[in-house]
Amino acid sequence: MEYSGRQWARNPVIAIIAAAVLFGIATPVLKLLLSKVTPVLLVTLLSLGAGGGVLCWLAVCQSDFSVLPCRALPDRDRYWLAGTVVIGGVVAPLVQFISLAVTPAATASLLLNFEIVSTLLIAYLIFREPVDRKTGLALTAILTGSILLSWNGGSVFDFSIGAAGIVVSCFLWGLDNNFMGRISGLSPGMIVVVKELVGGGIVGTLVILFREPFPGWVPVGFALLTGFLSFGVGLVLLITALRTMGAARAGAVYAAAPFIGCVVSLFLFSDRLGNQFWVSFCLFLAGSLVIIREQWEGRNSTSRKTGTACPPRQ
């Protein structure tokens, strides 16, 4: 498999669906790992598995395996790369994993739908990607579901710290998605290598400073494998789709990831789920379906007018 994106760019739909499955399954798996591994150490292990695994894959396949051309990157790409390393490689995963440790896995999976809202809003407000009125209403439904899941049911200001933290991490992931999709000077595989190894190295210093306990080789191996599959291969596929389809359209299909994680969580865990969860589930599902329909109708309309498929982002 070539990680330069040339093969997957011909069918970005397959790439984004595969990424959604890999990321969706990751949430309940991470919940299991957090019972054995501290959040800071888990971020380090996942980053090492993702960056190191993809780097080894590139070396074996001899695909785009060269000295990192960071000095040759345009200034704009360097800013995007620095942003994705700091936000997506350090801050967002730390916030998410710390919050996930105190939040039911099914609830956390659903809350990750807020990443769709943040990705699309940032793409629209900052990068001027088109978002129509129906998509705006769908985003409102998802945002309402996020607020409902975050609310403890007491006073108006009584919000779950864990749920609120996951919402904050989703906003950071939305920034990260938009940044990654705009790095044109590196292949998706090399973006993952730089992001995960540099970000993991930064978090790894915290592991040393805090003297995090070693959990044993079995959870460590499981974390490395999860990092390679979900945050390595999955991230390569996501970046490829972001480049080809744009953040808005790719985010529409990526909406399936939280629901995949939610279904898996319901089978793995016995967390008690109240009416808030099911009402939010309906809001998330309705909003996600509308976003998928609107984004794909817009893409097909553009393709029919031009007579070509949606071109890669420049």
Q: What is the mean pLDDT of each run of 10 residues along the chain (314 residues)?
A: 45 80 89 92 95 88 52 81 94 93 81 79 79 72 70 54 88 91 85 93 93 91 94 87 73 72 77 71 77 61 42 34
Domains in the chain: boundaries: 8-306
Q: What is the DSSP string of 250-294?
A: HHHHHTHHHHHHHHHHHHH------HHHHHHHHHHHHHHHHHHHH
User: pLDDT tens digit string along 148-186?
Assistant: 766 655 544 446 788 889 989 999 999 998 898 888 888
In our burial notation (b when 16+ CB lie closer than 10 A, e otherwise), range 73-98 reads beeebeebbebbbbbbbbbbbbbbbb
Task: Determine the pLDDT at residue 152.
Answer: 56
Q: Which pLDDT does position 96 carry in this prediction? A: 93
Residue 248: Cβ within 10 Å count: 27
